[in-house]
């Protein structure tokens, strides 16, 4: 299984030294993170799934609050040809969706209270988007909250894949991550439809072409 559980143990190293991360970290105000951080600081002992290239900064901050942290890089794993089982009549790849979700979204019976999904859905192949959302629904506890960010326009050249680092403020720090191509831009209606089985959705407007939402299991 891709990822590792960090259970209230500080991690060593710096995110800038982590493979797949490069360049400076740029502060970005995040209404979604600000709202979610209130719960993280008020309720110790939560289980958090952080999706993306391993961020020691996220591990250190979340474990310092008394939470358990699990890491999973869905975009990196989706880039592996392991999950392409063939081609359709148009020559497009056929994905082993069941294998991908089984490998990445089954956590030995663990359920999560918080999922930091960031911009992951914008970069996954289309065949994996809905199954990943369903898989996350299945592995979250009732009342669990998921933070997702969405590009409002499809422009791969101006939307390089980025990693988000949590901070003890209302900002997150944005840093260039492994190369990945933006696949889509989801409208508010698309987002609501994709998460229609979930119990609640609160959206946050942004001025930088990236919207945010907290979706409740």
Share of residues in the chain with pLDDT > 90 (%): 68
SS3 call for 92: coil
Predicted confidence (pLDDT) at residue 28 exceeds the cutoff of 60:
yes
Predicted confidence (pLDDT) at residue 58 exceeds the cutoff of 60:
yes
Closest C-alpha to 59, from 51, 103, 68: 68
Confirm whether 91 is domain-assigned.
no
| pLDDT at residue 7 in the model | 52
CATH classification at residue 210? 3.40.50.150
The whole domain housing 159 covers 20-85+98-216
Confirm whether 115 is domain-assigned.
yes
Q: If you ran DSSP here, which 8-state letter would residue 169 be given?
A: S
| pLDDT at residue 2 in the model | 39
Taking only the tens place, the pLDDT of each residue in 1-20 is 335 555 543 333 344 457 77
Confirm whether 184 is domain-assigned.
yes
| pLDDT at residue 1 in the model | 37
Separation CA 96–CA 21 (nearest Å) = 28
Residue 104 CA to its chain's centroid (Å): 12
Taking only the tens place, the pLDDT of each residue in 107-147 is 888 899 999 999 999 999 999 999 999 999 999 999 999 99
Separation CA 204–CA 35 (nearest Å) = 10
| pLDDT at residue 160 in the model | 87
Burial category of 171 from C-beta neighbours within 10 Å (exposed 0-12, middle 13-18, buried 19 and up): middle
Number of folded domains that form the chain: 1
SS3 call for 124: coil
Q: Give the mean model confidence (pLDDT) for residues 27-33.
A: 95
Separation CA 204–CA 209 (nearest Å) = 12
Q: Which residues contact 152 (CB under 8 A, 6 or more apart)?
A: 185, 209, 210, 211
Confidence of residue 39 (pLDDT cuts 50, 70, 90): very high
The dihedrals phi and psi of 158, each to the nearest 5 degrees, come to -100, 5
| pLDDT at residue 17 in the model | 57
Confirm whether 14 is domain-assigned.
no
Look up tokens 């709202």; give the residue: 35
Taking only the tens place, the pLDDT of each residue in 144-192 is 999 999 999 898 777 889 999 999 999 999 999 999 999 999 988 999 9
| pLDDT at residue 5 in the model | 54
Q: Which residues contact 59 (CB under 8 A, 6 or more apart)?
A: 6, 10, 11, 50, 69, 71
Look up tokens 């999904």; give the residue: 117
């Amino acid at each position: 299984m891709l990822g590792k559980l960090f259970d209230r143990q500080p991690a060593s190293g710096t995110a800038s030294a982590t493979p797949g991360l490069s360049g400076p970290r740029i502060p970005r105000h995040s209404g979604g993170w600000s709202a979610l951080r209130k719960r993280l600081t008020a309720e110790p002992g939560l289980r958090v799934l952080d999706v993306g290239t391993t961020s020691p900064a996220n591990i250190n901050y979340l474990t310092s609050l008394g939470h358990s942290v699990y890491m999973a890089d869905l975009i990196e794993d989706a880039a592996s040809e392991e999950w392409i089982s063939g081609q359709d009549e148009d020559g497009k790849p056929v994905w082993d969706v069941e294998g991908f979700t089984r490998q990445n979204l089954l956590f030995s019976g663990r359920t999560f209270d918080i999922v930091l999904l960031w911009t992951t859905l914008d970069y996954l192949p289309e065949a994996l988007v809905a199954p990943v959302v369903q898989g996350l629904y299945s592995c979250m506890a009732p009342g669990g909250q998921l933070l997702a960010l969405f590009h409002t326009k499809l422009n791969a050249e101006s939307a390089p894949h980025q990693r988000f680092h949590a901070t003890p403020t209302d900002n997150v720090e944005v840093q260039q991550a492994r190369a990945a191509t933006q696949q889509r831009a989801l409208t508010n209606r698309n987002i609501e439809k994709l998460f229609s089985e979930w119990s609640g959705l609160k959206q946050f407007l942004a001025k930088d072409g990236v919207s945010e939402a907290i979706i409740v299991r």
